[in-house]
């Protein structure tokens, strides 16, 4: 074949390939999923993130992939959200993984654990240190594929009817606290109770519990805890950066076209940023209102913090010795957190603490 004829033939082939490309574009089927949340509609940041996520997916697919969000108890109670995904009652849920430590304490690690990483460190671990992969290797046992989809930031220590002046004040305290922290506080005599968000206020009002923690000033004000408890403690050392997840039924996830998987991941990333940003914007004015209304803001005393850290380390050792899944993820997360704080000590912490000291100076 002459060179000129070869080029003509090649050009024709390339043209044909270019023209044919749209014929192999990824399919975008019409799908309708249900998402059940562990949170009530009154918590417009937690619940609002689920709504925002669903809208993002719909917008990106020209409404071909619709995910309808349901608040806690509209389909199943908030603390049964993971089961609903595992057994296929719904395609996905929005939840805090540590609600399900009754199944396995490993559920707490991708969410939040006492003296664990802060929000930015949590993101760094998940996205750049294999955290998402480690998490899903474990969740596979429960027919779940999980993606980060929001973070509350560091939480408050909760509302107490009486002051916590020393470690002995924790003994016998009936405290609404979720997840792994309850096991830690039990070592100090606390009677930990896991109660869904919408049920906390009546329990505190009736005296069924002596204290309760939820998230932070914005949500706590909405839930009205300041009306029935006076002392507002900080920090929530058990939740330095609480990760909210979307759990997706593995079979449903596997059946999605690649383009829909990409859109869901992107929408989850958007939700992850949006939730933290909203809490950071709304917590300061809410805290001012609570204090102006009579809430007594108090730090946990140093000896109490030290006792809680000691108890936490003991629990970590005990659980790691009995649970290989927990140990694998915990060792990875703990080592990463420690290295992160080397960096925080140099720049982030130094910068923040200086500005905290000087924030009222007039420019």
The verdict on residue 171 lying in a domain is no
| Chain segment 237-246, per-residue pLDDT in tens | 999 999 999 9
Confidence at residue 13, expressed as pLDDT on a 0 to 100 scale? 45
- Is a pLDDT exceeding 50 seen at residue 343? yes
Q: With 90 as the cut, is the pLDDT of residue 9 above it? A: no
| Rg, the chain, Cα only | 24
- Whether 139 is covered by a domain: the verdict is yes
pLDDT tens by residue, 210-257 = 999 999 999 999 999 999 999 999 999 999 999 999 999 999 999 999
Alpha carbon 38 to chain centroid, angstroms: 12
Q: Mind giving me the DSSP string for 255-300?
A: HS-HHHHHHHHHHHHHHHHHHHHHHHHHHHHHHHHHHHTT-EEEEP
Question: Which domain does 51 fall in, by range?
Answer: 31-152+241-280
For residue 5, is it within any domain? no
Q: Per the domain annotation, does 109 fall within a domain?
A: yes
303: burial class by Cβ within 10 Å (0-12, 13-18, 19+)?
Answer: exposed
Split into its structural domains, the chain has a count of: 1
**Could you tell me if residue 140 is inside a domain?**
yes
Q: Does residue 55 lie within any of the structural domains?
A: yes
Contact of 90 with 304, CB cutoff 8 Å? no
* Any domain includes 360: no
Cα 133 to Cα 271: distance, rounded to the nearest angstrom: 19
Question: How high is the pLDDT of residue 69?
Answer: 98
Residue 68: helix, strand or coil by DSSP? strand
pTM of the entire predicted model: 0.89
41: domain CATH number is 3.40.190.170
Distance (Å, whole) CA 319 – CA 328: 11
pLDDT tens for 198-210 read 789 999 999 999 9
Peptide bond connecting 235 to the previous residue in cis, omega within 30 degrees of 0:
yes
Average pLDDT, the chain: 92
């Amino acid at each position: 074949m002459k060179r000129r004829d070869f080029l003509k033939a090649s050009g024709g082939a390339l043209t044909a390939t270019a023209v044919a490309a749209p014929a192999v574009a990824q399919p975008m089927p019409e799908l309708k999923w249900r998402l059940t949340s562990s949170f009530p509609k009154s918590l417009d940041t937690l619940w609002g993130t689920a709504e925002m996520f669903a809208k993002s997916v719909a917008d990106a697919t020209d409404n071909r992939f619709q995910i309808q969000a349901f608040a806690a108890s509209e389909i199943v109670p908030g603390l049964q959200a993971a089961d609903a995904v595992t057994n296929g009652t719904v395609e996905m849920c929005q939840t805090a993984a540590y609600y399900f430590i009754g199944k396995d304490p490993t559920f707490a690690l991708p969410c939040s654990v006492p003296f664990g990483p802060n929000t930015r460190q949590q993101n760094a671990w998940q996205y750049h240190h294999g955290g998402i992969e480690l998490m899903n290797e474990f969740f596979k046992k429960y027919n779940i594929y999980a993606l980060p989809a929001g973070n509350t930031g560091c939480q408050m220590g909760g509302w107490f009817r009486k002051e916590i002046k020393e470690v002995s004040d924790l003994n016998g305290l009936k405290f609404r606290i979720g997840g792994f922290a309850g096991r830690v506080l039990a070592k100090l005599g606390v009677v930990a109770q896991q109660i869904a968000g919408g049920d906390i206020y009546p329990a505190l009002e009736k005296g069924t519990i002596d204290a309760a923690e939820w998230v932070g000033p914005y949500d706590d004000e909405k839930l009205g805890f300041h009306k029935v408890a006076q002392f507002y403690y900080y920090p929530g050392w058990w939740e330095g950066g609480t990760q909210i997840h979307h759990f997706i039924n593995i079979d449903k996830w596997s059946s999605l076209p690649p383009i829909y998987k990409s859109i869901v991941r992107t929408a989850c990333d958007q939700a992850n940023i949006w939730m933290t940003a909203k809490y950071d914007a709304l917590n300061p004015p809410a805290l001012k209102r609570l204090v102006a209304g009579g809430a007594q803001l108090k730090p946990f005393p140093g000896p109490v913090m030290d006792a809680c850290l000691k108890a936490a380390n003991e629990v970590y050792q005990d659980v790691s010795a009995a649970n290989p899944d927990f140990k694998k993820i915990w060792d990875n997360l703990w080592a990463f957190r420690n290295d992160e704080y080397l960096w925080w000590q140099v720049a982030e912490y130094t910068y923040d603490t200086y500005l905290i000291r000087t924030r009222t100076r007039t420019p």
